[in-house]
Amino acid sequence: MKQAKILFISQEITPYLPESEMSKIGRYLPQGIQEKGREIRTFMPKYGSINERRNQLHEVIRLSGMNLIIDDTDHPLIIKVASIQSARMQVYFIDNEDYFHYKSVLADENGDSFQDNDERAIFFARGVLETVRKLRWSPDVVHCHGWITALVPLYLKRSFVDDPLYNNSKIVYSVYNDDFNKPLDKDFKVKLKIDGIKDDDVTGLTTPSFENLTKMAIELSDAVIIGSNEINKSIHKYINSLKKPVLEYKPEEEYIDAYSDFYDEILMQKVNED
């Protein structure tokens, strides 16, 4: 188990964004798991508020250059990387100047969500999965943090299901108290489609609310972690109704060990299935 490969896909990571419950987990969990002998890769969006010079980001030319088509429009995929020296850890950034030029993360200074957050989520999820493909790195566990990662389980279970890099990957979805109040664009379920995704897969997104998007991600994941002490009550009830591994909320001093043991539990299930 110690050589397991863990892919972390995170909405927020400090020090690139201000400290929050999610950004601190995004920063310290991969380090803690790496120190336990696992191999890791970590991805986040390259929001416009991230100072590239101060954080010493640089483009990875061999990974950049692909175009992702969303709503019949080509969008260049730019991959950047930075190192957290004290953790001996690299962070990969998914960038595109149309989607990630805002000087804030997912909402403006008035708290209003950006109109294109739906396409940003599509671009981020697909960008990570295509980049890991280019790295030729096959994760045993894919751990998603934050709602902007919610399409990853859908793409892995439907579009990438026969990809030898991913077809044995177990998906863990962490649910946080990061609700958005206004549904995403009404055409979200049309825009997100790529090969392998059928209408029946996205009927729950007829109203693309936080609850519906999160429930779809949970349903398609192999295991769930409660990442915040308090989360949306409807979603918590839904999680408890499912027959899949669930790890309840763990405080800061406990979560690294608890998550590590949880990965082992999920991977042992995979061994037993095989």
| Nearest-angstrom CA–CA distance, 195 and 161 | 11
Partnered with residue 95 across adjacent β-strands are: 78
pLDDT category, 1, cuts 50, 70, 90?
very low
- Report the predicted TM-score, pTM, of the whole model to 2 decimal places: 0.97
* Chain Cα centroid distance, residue 263: 16
| Helix, strand, coil percentages for the chain (3-state, nearest 5) | 35, 20, 45
Helix axes of 210-220 and 233-241: crossing angle, nearest 10 degrees = 20
- pLDDT tens digits for range 94-107: 999 999 999 899 99
| Nearest-angstrom CA–CA distance, 69 and 141 | 27
For residue 195, give the 3-state DSSP assignment. Answer: coil
Q: Which residues contact 195 (CB under 8 A, 6 or more apart)?
A: 159
- pLDDT tens digits for range 209-225: 999 999 999 999 999 99
Q: Is 80 exceeded by the pLDDT of residue 2?
A: no
| Nearest-angstrom CA–CA distance, 43 and 13 | 9
Q: Mean pLDDT over residues 115-140, rounded?
A: 97
Average pLDDT value over all residues in the chain: 95
- Domains of the chain, start order: 5-273 (3.40.50.2000)
List own/partner pairs for 49-56 with CB under 8 A and 24 or more apart: 49/17, 49/102, 49/103, 49/104, 49/105, 50/16, 50/17, 50/93, 52/80, 55/15, 55/16, 55/82, 56/82, 56/83
Q: Is 70 exceeded by the pLDDT of residue 273?
A: no
